[in-house]
Structures are given as C-alpha cells and as structure tokens.
Structure 1
Amino acid sequence: MSATAASWPLWEVFVRARRGMAHVHAGSLHAPDADLALRNARDVYTRRQEGVSIWVVPSAALVVSDPARRGALFDPAADKDYRHPTHYTVPDGVEHL
C-alpha cells in the first residue's frame, strides 16, 4: 500500500445478498472518499454478483460497545425470556424470521 493510500480513511463494507435479507459486514477497505469506497467495495466484495446492495461507512463514524463491559450492556435482557423464539410457533413456509 502506498503512503497516500495508507493515509486514506478506513471504510467498513456491508453487503446485502438478496432482497429481504439484512446487510452483513463483508470487510474493510481504504479509500479517499465515499464514492470511491463504494466502487472499490463493489469490485472487492461482489465480484461474482453476490450482492444486491452495498453500504460503506467510515470506520470513524461507528459507535461500538466495549466487549469488556458486556455484562452491563446485555444483562438487563437476560430476564426477558419471552424474546426468545422458543415461545413462538413459526408457521410453515416462513423462510426469514
């Protein structure tokens, strides 16, 4: 990677495989701007037409949780077992729930 490319911002790439599915993190790349990041993401992560939609987000714009503080963030949800799919019957023919 050249010195110029190394100074470019880092972008996170999310790809949606097909309509109705969620975007999934595919990887990261360096690019000077959003337009080139989107083009490079298309070339790198969807070479074989794996996706129908691409998102690129500057890594610096992401706000993430600290894995070391997992308990404080996720423990309040532990007592809400009704949120687990074991309490619901999934109808036949439902592919993506």
Structure 2
Amino acid sequence: MSDTDGKKDGWPLYEVFVRSKRGLNHVHVGSLHAADDAMALTHARDLYTRRNEGVSIWVVRSQHIAASTRDEKDPFFAPSADKVYRHPTFYDIPDDVPHI
C-alpha cells in the first residue's frame, strides 16, 4: 500500500494529541503509523513524552478525523452568527469557576 491512503506497510496512520502538565487542552504533536490503538499509544508515549512533559495522550486514526477547510469558512460558520443567544455574553460565570 502507498502512503497516499494513510497506510505504511499496512499500518494505519494515527494523529497524536498530548496534554502537557502546563496546559489544559490536548495539542496535536504529530503523526505515527501503528498496527493498533494500543501500539499507537505506546509509540506516542515513547516519541512525544520523552521528557515527562505529558499527563495524557490521545491517538486517533487519521481516517476518522473530519475537518472543515478554509474555503468553507464563510458558509460553514455563517449560520452561527445569527444565534446571538449562544454568545458568552448571555451567561454569567461564577467567580470560583477557573479556566473558562
């Protein structure tokens, strides 16, 4: 199989996301090929958290990620502009709630 279909030597391509000790969100750090989910997690740990900077790892098969493109920006996000009730100005956030 070729790399163009997301596989190398028959192994699927995984996207790796790591949550660092400092951050609150998982951040995309790279990609790797693995035979299964468990192997992908093990390889991701070995490749992307060598200095103990991670507290959580996500691996997702690339073929399972659906994403919008820049060309779709206006038609894709425009419908949400008319829903002002979704804007954060309509919600009161308590002072004791961190990280929002």
With normalisation by structure 2, the TM-score equals 0.70
The one of 26, 29, 38 aligned to 2:29: 26
* Post-superposition CA distance 1:14-73 (Å, at most 9, x none): 111138712111111111111111011001111101110001010011111132111111
Structure 1 range deviating more: 44-53 or 63-72: 63-72
- TM alignment of 1:36-47, pairs within 5 A: 36-47=39-50
Question: Structure 2 stretches of 5 or more lacking a match?
Answer: 1-6
**Structure 1 residue runs without a partner (length 5+):** none
Give the number of equivalent residue pairs: 92
User: Equivalent residue for 2:18?
Assistant: 15
Percent identity over the alignment?
Answer: 57
CA RMSD of aligned residues (A): 2.8
Q: Distance in 2 between matches of 1:9 and 1:46?
A: 21
The letter of the residue matching 1:44 is L
Runs of 4+ in structure 1 over 3 Å off = 77-85, 90-95
Tell me what 1:6 maps to. Answer: 8
Query: Which secondary structure does the structure 1 equivalent of 2:43 belong to?
Result: helix
